[in-house]
Amino acid sequence: MNAPDWRARAANQTRLAFGQALLELGARDGGTVVISADTQDLLGIRPYIESFRDRFVEVGIAEQNAIGIAAGLATTGMHPFVCAYAPFITARSMEQVRNDLAYAHQRVVIGAAASGISLGVAGGTHHALEDIALMRSFPNMSVIVPADVEEAYAATLATQDIDGPVYLRLGGRVEEPPVSDPAQPFRLGRAATLREGNDVAIIACGALVEMAVRASDALRDEGVQARVINMHTIKPFDREVVLKAAAETQRIVTAEEHHLTGGLGGAVAELLALEQPTRMRMIGMPDVFACIGPTPKVRAKYGMSAEAIVAACRELL
């Protein structure tokens, strides 16, 4: 069966898959409105603008205004989608996200591109390594971290059924290889198991899912069966899949392109500390600001790689 047209236009980048999904949502729902903070090309939304010009607002580099406008539109029954850079929409407009969206429980979706160090060469101002910690701390907020374009497209469509604010964490101008199963429906708060195994469990999100799969394949060659869990939803969190993995493997490795404080690893550790203490290792960004450079090299420098995941699994074994 031929791949859908949107798949080719997404070019293996979740940020572009989000823009393609907005086209579908715009056609489905007359209440869909897109608000851009100078991101028409970053999120590939020019086709949406051409089709639904009367349901598009460009605010420029003014993320606080973008959130305020979105919240206001949501109160009228519209379904706003904010297109923004992850480092700016979370840090610069954190107060508005907290008060106008989370506290007010407004039905607004934030499409946050250029997360993590996917814009590595742009420098520290354009890195977003604390955004999961910030967003998952807010009551009412859903936090989704797709691993590839199939998941990003499906997750964007699924936000139509979420009654409340959503933070959808997307990549930058870096290719994200396919790793999810297109036949497996996206379910909010339900992780996807990509590899089976009972020796150790690797729980990953976003760009690190593909690396977790590669790590599992490498370990299999050594006779180690490593389970891989794609935790695409950080909030609501799939407690059952984590507790099951801990009980059956007794060893957990988390992997994420985010600071080790407050992200996926923190969420897993919080749960296990209270309900099922389990030996863990955490792969992610250490407590420093990332250097400037090409994304793959910066990831490798700070141990966000398949090789680092394999080493962490070996430590536990």
* pLDDT attached to residue 1: 45
183 in any annotated domain:
no
Q: Are residues 199 and 69 in the same domain?
A: no
* pLDDT attached to residue 3: 64
Q: Are residues 196 and 164 in the same domain?
A: no
- Choose the final residue of a domain: 169, 200, 223: 169
Q: Are residues 219 and 105 in the same domain?
A: no
Q: Are residues 75 and 140 in the same domain?
A: yes
Q: Are residues 196 and 279 in the same domain?
A: yes
* pLDDT attached to residue 167: 98
Domain count, the chain: 2
Q: Are residues 97 and 244 in the same domain?
A: no
Q: Are residues 122 and 90 in the same domain?
A: yes
d(CA 182, CA 192): 11
35 in any annotated domain:
yes
Range of the structural domain that residue 252 is part of: 192-316
Q: Are residues 30 and 145 in the same domain?
A: yes
100 in any annotated domain:
yes
* pLDDT attached to residue 4: 79
Q: Are residues 165 and 204 in the same domain?
A: no
- What CATH number corresponds to the domain at position 265? 3.40.50.920
Q: What is the pTM of this model?
A: 0.96
- Choose the final residue of a domain: 169, 201, 229: 169
187 in any annotated domain:
no
Could you state, in chain order, the average pLDDT of each consecutive group of 10 residues for the chain (317 residues)?
80 97 96 97 96 97 98 97 98 97 98 96 94 98 98 97 97 94 92 97 98 98 97 98 98 98 97 97 97 95 97 97
Q: Are residues 163 and 229 in the same domain?
A: no
177 in any annotated domain:
no
Q: Are residues 157 and 212 in the same domain?
A: no
128 in any annotated domain:
yes
85 in any annotated domain:
yes
Q: Are residues 12 and 136 in the same domain?
A: yes
- What CATH number corresponds to the domain at position 29? 3.40.50.970
178 in any annotated domain:
no
